[in-house]
Chains A and B, each alone.
Chain A
Amino acid sequence: MSDAPTRPAARRRLLVSGLLLGLGTAGAVDEIVFHQLLHWHHFYDRASGAAGLVSDGLLHAGTFSAAVAGMALFADARRRGRFAPPLWWGAVLTGAGAFQVWDGLVHHKLLRLHQVRYGVDLTGYDVGWVLPGALLLAAGVVLLRRARTEPAR
């Protein structure tokens, strides 16, 4: 790790790896914890139309594919000795935050695919869904900006 990713191609690969893995991890947590373990989210509550179904299918298939691709690219960056923690973590947090905000605003509220939980007042749950996402996203962007202004050592 002597010569960290100063070249644009290596930086771009690392950035893509982090974004994909962040998206994929947030998607996996959503699917495993909230759909399968807690059963808060419903498979399909029939409140959304065709656009919602297509968007849900793309996001579901996209996130788990992204997780696998992100891991492979991460392993490749490590193998090349081009791993820069601030850049990578910034990308992971940005990807995860973007998923959470998109899921909370577009999927739950705009397309009404399913809600965070059923049979309760949703306001607190919605804030609890989107706010951590926004914080993750902000932290990721800050890290990415710092990694850009401070080229890797």
Chain B
Amino acid sequence: MTVLLLAAGAAYVAATWRCRSPWPLARTAAWLAGLAAAGVAVAGPLRAHADLHAHMAGHLLLGMVAPLLLVLAAPVTLALRALPPPAARRLSRLLRTAPARWLADPLVAVPLNAAGLWLLYGTGLHTAVAHRPGLAALVWLHVLSSGYLATAAVLAVDPAPHRRPVAVRALSLAGGAAAHDVLAKVLYAAPPAGTVGAEQGARLMYDGGTVVTLVTAALLWRRWYVSRDAVRAAAQPG
């Protein structure tokens, strides 16, 4: 996992050097910070399977904070600008294929993310992962990537062939947050077998999830407010 994160950081920095236009430093910083958040989560707190309080801190970092920072770094835009033109064309064709469009749709990506969480904590999977490091790494990779897909689909920082209207994306985000809230209270009432600190862990999941979702919603509406379509519509009478 650490190797993957380091490789992702190196690839991004190398791409900014090859990028055909100046690349904002803030985006590079967001990418590296996102990878660092994921790295911190898998290095320490996420390994505490039995202590749900520590575990949830890691989970918030890996599943919510890191994806948000990575999405804000607009990696697809960077790839399209840094790859040689033939490869960039292949990538943009790939993004237009049906499976890629489904995964970029908030009505698919957000429910998938929520379903993964419920599967992890609602079934015996969380307990099973504790003694299988390989399985744990797969679960971490899934949490990070499904969190990334859901956030990317909602915020739509990178170009997408068919973008849902802002109201649909905001409602998807709220729906995902509701599923997260309900799961937190279910864990509070009925923690997975063999765990301690479930009450604090559930509260951290609930409150931390609220904060990250609030930030995401604010970014989503801010991007809508300054978007070309909204500015143009506001300039017209009616």
- Kindly report which residue of chain A lies nearest to residue B224, judged by CB atoms: A72
A57 & B181 in contact (Cβ 8 Å cutoff): yes
- Most chain A beta-carbon neighbours within 10 Å: one of B167, B171, B188, B234: B234
A53 & B186 in contact (Cβ 8 Å cutoff): yes
B9 interfacial by beta-carbon distance below 8 Å: no
User: CA A43 – CA B202 in complex, angstroms?
Assistant: 10
User: CA A80 – CA B185 in complex, angstroms?
Assistant: 42
- Most chain B beta-carbon neighbours within 10 Å: one of A43, A46, A65, A69: A65
B181 & A56 in contact (Cβ 8 Å cutoff): yes
A68 & B210 in contact (Cβ 8 Å cutoff): no
A68 & B188 in contact (Cβ 8 Å cutoff): no
Given A61-B175, A64-B214, A69-B170, the answer on whether A53 and B221 have CB atoms closer than 8 Å is: no
Q: Is the interface of B mostly helix, strand, loop or mixed?
A: helix
Number of A-B contacts defined by CB within 8 Å: 73
Known: A61-B178, A62-B178. 10 other contacts (CB 8 A): A44-B189, A57-B179, A57-B185, A58-B178, A61-B174, A61-B180, A64-B217, A68-B214, A68-B217, A75-B225
3 closest A-B pairs by CB = A72-B221, A57-B182, A57-B181
Sampled A-B contacts (23; CB under 8 Å): A3-B237, A43-B185, A44-B185, A44-B188, A44-B189, A53-B182, A53-B185, A53-B186, A54-B178, A56-B182, A57-B179, A57-B185, A61-B177, A61-B178, A61-B213, A62-B178, A64-B217, A65-B173, A68-B214, A69-B221, A71-B221, A72-B222, A76-B234
